[in-house]
Amino acid sequence: MKSATSKRRTPARVQKRFSGILVHPTSFPSPYGIGDLGEGAYKFIDFLKAAGQSLWQCLPLGQTGFGDSPYQSFSSFAGQPLIISPDKLAEMELLTAKDLEDIPEWDDGMVDYGPAIIYKTGLLKKAYENFKTTAIKLTLEQYTSFCRRHKTWLDNYALFMALKDANNGVSWLEWPEEYKFLTDKLRRSLMRSMADSIGYYKFIQFIFFKQWDELRQYAHDNGIKIIGDIPIFVSPDSADVWANKELFQLDSKGYPLAVAGVPPDYFSATGQLWGNPLYDWEAHKASGYQWWIARIRNQLKLVDYLRIDHFRGFEAYWSVPYGHKNAIKGKWIKGPGEDLFIAISQALGNNLPIFAEDLGVITPAVEQLRDAFNFPGMKVLQFGFDNVEENNFLPYLYTENCICYTGTHDNDTTRGWYETASEASRDKVRRYMNCDGGLVSRDFIRTALGSVARYAIFPLQDLLGLGSEARMNTPGVAMGNWAWRYTQDMLSDGLAKDLEELSILYGRRSIL
């Protein structure tokens, strides 16, 4: 009889583990005032590869409006023209060396959106004029194919933006009545009379998608997958609302009946009043959720995983009567729940690569919705130490199917957070992580990498050990956000080597 010790044990199957960096393209190095999809983006991918990482997470990629927030865009489908690379336009012979001679002097560590928008728009319009007269045949064929494939959203977006220009950039709710509520006859007339302006907006989307597709392919070739991000709600001043009024809770004049937000929480004692119009979920259901299916399909052509911001709004959303000054007097209203994701799964396939932003007021019903589709949820390490009592953000309470973040775009940097945290919080960090707090950002990254979470993500600011001056966004503060940038010298070979060694230690190193 063989002893138990003589039997060979079968090794347990180890689930693959991933890690990566959160940084938005606007933060990339570039000589043109704002990060773009040029050389700085490709060098960032090179850095990820050298550092043994497998993931790059960015913020929403839409065209931003007033306030410059990527969570408030003119279209849920269109890309951000400000991150189009002028150098790549020159490679396409759509800009000349002379066009790029007189570059203004910019602050390499901060985006100044006003001047940057004026400068980049001028370059894009030059490129469009050159495209109309000198574009090579292959580029014209690619453009025609792009317009045909994206017609369902592109025509609405381009007409919306052309009308916005014709009305001095004001919200569509302030346009003349005939433009707010187009007849089919007027629409056909405008498509002819505004053909040049409409063509410009189609052109910049063609260029954005082309440059993004090339960068994404480069990322894939180097073993990097991209995590995208979309807000659950859309901007009130958007082609989405203007062209699909029947899908939103609006009055007869187009104004919201109620708007989105969240009740008082970690970030604000009066809640957050976002002001986004709310969906008419019955209308979406009657259409088979076609708008949502198209939205998710479009995003998954740009990215490999998709984080949905404010996921809990699908189970129940905070509805605030239109006109209120804060979000205190809202109420919870049931959302579409599983019905929406069943429809999306039937259209796009099971095992949707969706990450659920499940922060805030989370109920068992929200967790049940998340888990029914096996969506990973989020764990933020800073939250684990804000409250020195037992809480679900402490790593020893994680489940495997989650993403551990040191912090997010809405948090202070880890160093900035630690420097302003209570002594009780700092003491718990030091004891929990067995450190002295001198390199707290690195200690948080090490803890995230060492956690059971399948995915570990940290903002680039934390990898660089930066303080509050590098914070990306402060919720509830209207101005001065989304501006942080880094310079190329910050991504050193030594930093990449250090991160690679940590990733090897905790079983997360990317291997092509």
367 is a catalytic site residue:
no
C-alpha 367/C-alpha 337 separation (Å) is 11
Q: Among 36, 68, 309, 500, which one carries the catalytic annotation?
A: 309
410 is a catalytic site residue:
yes
C-alpha 340/C-alpha 281 separation (Å) is 9
Q: Is 244 exposed, middle or buried (0-12, 13-18, 19+ CB in 10 A)?
A: middle
- 264-303 as b/e, with b when 16 or more CB fall inside 10 Å? eeeebeebbbbbbbbbbbeebeeeebebbbebbebbbebb
CB atoms within 10 A of CB 130: 17
105 is a catalytic site residue:
no
426 contacts: CB under 8 Å, gap ≥ 6: 418, 437
Q: Are 139 and 128 in contact (CB under 8 A)?
A: no
Continuous segment of H or E residues that includes residue 458? strand 455-459
Q: Among 315, 358, 410, 462, which one carries the catalytic annotation?
A: 410
C-alpha 346/C-alpha 353 separation (Å) is 14
C-alpha 247/C-alpha 260 separation (Å) is 15
Q: Among 36, 240, 357, 358, which one carries the catalytic annotation?
A: 357
Length in residues, the chain: 512
C-alpha 225/C-alpha 300 separation (Å) is 12
Q: Catalogue the active-site residues.
A: 309, 357, 410
